[in-house]
Amino acid sequence: EAQVTQNPRYLITVTGKKLTVTCSQNMNHEYMSWYRQDPGLGLRQIYYSMNVEVTDKGDVPEGYKVSRKEKRNFPLILESPSPNQTSLYFCASRWESYNEQFFGPGTRLTVL
């Protein structure tokens, strides 16, 4: 089944404790991205990647890191999480030549 998977689905952590949210897609998509979704603000792009080893900042990159060492994986790293990073996070992927994005199921992160 074609899909984007994220882990974990739910995470509660404390300020300053490094964490990684994994994202994997099995559709051989070139383009992957991370979004956060907050009430009243909609989906905002954090980082995106056009292919292996090619990443760039989205609209709200502060406090986040990403890497793209393999085509299928695009982990999101929070080196020192803060409470304002409490949010619902989505990973998405697509082929470069198409606009349809396929979203993962989301990761709900709470930073205390």
Partner 1 sequence: QKEVEQDPGPLSVPEGAIVSLNCTYSNSAFQYFMWYRQYSRKGPELLMYTYSSGNKEDGRFTAQVDKSSKYISLFIRDSQPSDSATYLCAMTLISSGSARQLTFGSGTQLTVLP
Q: Identify which of residues 81 and 90 has a Cβ nearer to partner 1 in the complex.
A: 90
* DSSP SS3 for 4: strand
55-94 mask for partner 1 (x: CB under 8 A)?
Answer: -x-x-------------------------------x-x--
Structure tokens at 57: 């900042």
Give the other-Cβ count within 10 Å of 28's Cβ.
10
Q: Do 58 and 49 contact (CB within 8 A), yes or no?
A: no
* DSSP SS3 for 21: strand
Q: Identify which of residues 75 and 104 has a Cβ nearer to partner 1 in the complex.
A: 104
Name the site residues for partner 1 (rule: CB under 8 A): 4, 31, 33, 40-45, 48, 50, 56, 58, 90, 92, 99-101, 103-106
